[in-house]
Structure 1
Amino acid sequence: MPKESLDSDKVNYMIWRGLVYSLIDRDIAQVTKDGVAAVNGFFGPLTPTSTESPAPDEGEFENARKHEIDNEQPQPTTNGPASKRGRLSNGYENGFEPTPMELDDEQNPDENAYPSPEQLPSPVVATVGPEQGTQMDKVSELSTETIFLELSDDQTSRNAVLLQCEWNPRDPQILAAVGTDALARMWTLDHRGTVITVMSPTSDESVKFALPNNHNLHQQPLEVTWTSDEDFVICGGDLLQALHCVDGVISPTRKYETREGHALSKLSFDWRTGSLATASETGTIDIWDQTGSRRSFNAHQGVITSLAWQPLPFPVHVSDDSERLLASAGEDGAISIWNARSAETKSRSSMTMGSTVVSLSFTPDGVFIAGGTTDRILIWKVEDPALPRASWLRSDQTGWRTPMSQDSAGDENQYNLCWDANGHKLAYGAGNSLAVINFRQ
C-alpha cells in the first residue's frame, strides 16, 4: 500500500477541522446531570462539571490547568490521527511561539510522508583542516652533506668491523673509532663544507683552506685560475675570491664585489694585461682590472659555457692601446670573439655551431680556434672566421664507439679541447673517451 504524502496544507486543514468540531461542541452546551453546562475547548473542558465545591476564580483555574498539563503525560485525543499525541507545554505564560514546519522541502522527491531508510542523506564528513599529526613543513635532505670516511688505508684491513666511535668531548673536529683487526683511528675534520686543496707536483705535501659561509659545492661548482706563482682566484655563484698561498698557508686576499644572484660559472685570467674575465649563467661577461673595477656586457642568450684568451707568441709586446681578444661560447650555440679593451659592447666576430658549444681552445700561436659540441668539432681562422677550415664528426669515427663509451654516453657532462705545443694535434675528451685529432701534418 503506498504511503500518503503529507504537506503543510493537509496539516493546516486537520487543525482547522478540529477547531470547527470544538466550536460545535461548545454551541451544543452539553448539560450534565446537575444541570450545569460543561463548556469544552479544543483540548478539554473549560469549566468544572461539579457544583459540590465553589468554583475557583478565573486566575486560579487557569494556573491549575497549566500545572496539570505540564506535569501529566500526554493522552491520545480523538480529534486527530491515532499516531498524534498531545504536546507538553512550552513554558510560555502568554501564548506560544510556533516553530516553522519543513514539510514542503524537496528532500523527499517520491512524495511519501516519511522517507525510507534508503532515501536518508549520507552523513557529511567535516574537513576543517589537515588531520592532526600531518607534517606540513618540508623535509630537509641531508644526503648531499654526508662525508664518508675510510676505516683503514690498508687493503688487508678493509674487512674491519667498527665497534665504537666517539667525538672528542671538547673538540668537535676530532672523531675516533675502534674495531676489529686492530682498528684504532682518529680523524681531524677541519671543515664539513668546501675545502680548497693546493698540492705540490714534486712532493706529497698539500695545503688546505676551508671556505667560509659553508659554500655549497653541489649547487655552485667552483672555477679556479692562477694569477701568479703564489696567487689564485676562485669563482662560483656569488663568490669571487683571490687567495695567496705561501709557506704552506693559504690566506684570502681580495674579495670582489659581485652582483647577488649573478651565478658566476666561468673564469679566465690574462697574464699579459692582468685582466680577469668572468662569465655568468645569465649570459653576461665581466672584465675585472687589477684595481677590482669591472666592465660588463651581454654576450650570450643563457649560460656561458667557456671563456678563453687568445695566446700571443713571444716576443709580441702588448701596448696600452693594443686590442686583447677574448673568446666566449654558450648554450645558444654561438662563439663570439671580443676585444676586451674596447668600450664597444658588440663582438668583433662570431660563429655558430647550431647546438650547445661545450668547449673552446686557441692554438698556441693564437691563429686558429676550435669549438666543440657533443658530436662535432669545427676549426676557424681567427682573422677570417667566415667559414670553418676543418671539421670532425664524432659519429663518423668507428674507434670512438667502444662498448664502454656507448654505455656511458648518457652520463657525459665534462668535455675538453686542447692543442699540442705545435698546434698540429687536437685532443678531445668526452666522458671516459679521449680522441687525438690530426689537424696539420
Structure 2
Amino acid sequence: MADMKQYVQDTLDLIAKRDPDQPQFKNTVSKVLESVIPVLEAHPEFKEQKILERIIEPERVITFRVPWQDDKGEVHVNRGFRVQMSSAIGPYKGGLRFHPSVNLDILKFLAFEQVFKNALSGLPIGGAKGGSDFDPHGKSDNEVMHFCQSFMTELYRHIGPDVDVPAGDIGVGGREVGYLYGQYKRIRDSYDAGVLTGKRVDYWGSLARTEATGYGLLYFVKNMLDAKDISLKDKTVVVSGSGNVATYAIEKAQAFGAKVVTCSDSNGYVYDPNGIDLAAVKEIKQVRRGRIKEYVETHPQAEYHEGCKGVWTVKCDVALPCATQGEIDLESAKALVANGVIAVGEGANMPSTLDAIAYFQQNKVLFAPGKAANAGGVSVSALEMAQNSERLQWTFEEVDGKLQDIMANIYKNAKANAEKYADPDDLVAGANITAFVKVANVMLAHGLV
C-alpha cells in the first residue's frame, strides 16, 4: 500500500510542478487518486502502464480568441476553451460554461470530473469541458447571438457527433445552444443534430433533458435513503440555486412528498416556511429572467436574505447544493450538521469543498457526490445522441424511465465498490473507484495512446 501511496503522491507532485497555477485541478485529482489507492494495489498493471500519468493529462487543450460586437458597436474580445480530457470510452462529452470565472484551471478540473461522471453513466461517452469568460447576464439576445456565432466559428472544427459533443452548463441554456447549433449548421452545411445536446425538442432535442439533472439527483438520493429505510416524505429540504438543476430538484423533491424551503441566486436566498412555490420561481427565473428576491413581493410569509452562504444555516433534513462549485465550505458543513442534516446530495459540480466532505463523512451524514448524483443530465444528453442517431424522438416517459434505471445502477455500482474497497457508506470512494476502473481498463485495452 505504501508503494501505491507514493505513486499517487508522485503524480500529484508532477501536477504541482507542471501546472502550479492550477490548484483546483490538483485538488480534484488528489481526491480521486487517493480514493483509488486500494485499486492500484490490486492492479499493479495500472502503475506499470502509467495510467495515472496518462489520465491526468488532457488528450487535447484548445484555446482561441472570440471577438464580437455589442449593440453599441463596441468590439470585445473574450477567450474560448475546450479541454478534451479523455475519449477512452466514447466521443468527448461535456458542457460549455459562459461565466467570468472561466479559466483553464476550472475547465481542467471540470473535464477531469466529467470523465468519471460519464463513465458512471454506463453509456459510451468520454469527458470534456469548455467555455469562455464571456458573461451572458445582462446581454441582449442579439449580443449573445453574436458571441455564440463567433465562438462556434472557431469551435466547429474541433467537434462532431462522433468526435466531441458539447452541451450547456452555467451561462449556456437553450438560447445559447440554439445560436451555437445554428452557426455550426451554417458553417458545415449539414444537419448533424447529434453535435450538440440540450437542444430544443423541436429541433431534435430530447424530452426530459431539461429536467434530467434535477430529477436524476433526487432519484440517486432516494436510492441512497431507501437503502437506510429512510423516506423523503415530509422531510425538510434546503436547495441552493434557481436554475434548471435546482428547479427540477425542487419539483421532484416535492413530488416525493418533501417540503423544500429555500432556493437562491447569485445575490441571495429565499426562505419560505410554507414551502417554495415552484410556479412562482419558474415565472421569475424562466419567464422574466428576474432575481429571486422578487419572490417575497408576492409571498409575504417568505424571507429574502442577501448573500448565499446563509442558506446552509437553515434547519433541514436534506441539503441539495445545486448552484456552483465550492458553495459548501467547512463552516457551512458544520452548520448543517449542527442543525441535524441526515443527507447531502450534490446537484452542482463539486459544490462541497474537500474538508466539508470529510466533515460530513466523519459525522455519518449520507453523502451523494456530484459525479454520481448529478450524472442524470449528461446521461440524458447521451440518450439525446442516441435518439439523434436513430432519427427518432422518445417519449418523456421512456426517457424518464431510462434515467431512473441509470441513476439506480450508478448508486448500486458505487455502493458495491464502496463495500469492496472502502467504507460501505463512502459513496465518494465508491463512485471514484467504479469510474476509474472502467476508464483504466479501456485505456489498457487500447494500448499506449
Q: TM-score range by the shorter chain?
A: under 0.3
Structure showing greater Rg: 1
- The structure with the largest helix share of the pair is 2
- The structure with the largest strand share of the pair is 1
Answer 1 or 2: higher relative contact order, Cα 8 Å, separation at least 6. Answer: 2
What is the TM-score when the length of structure 1 is the normalising length? 0.22
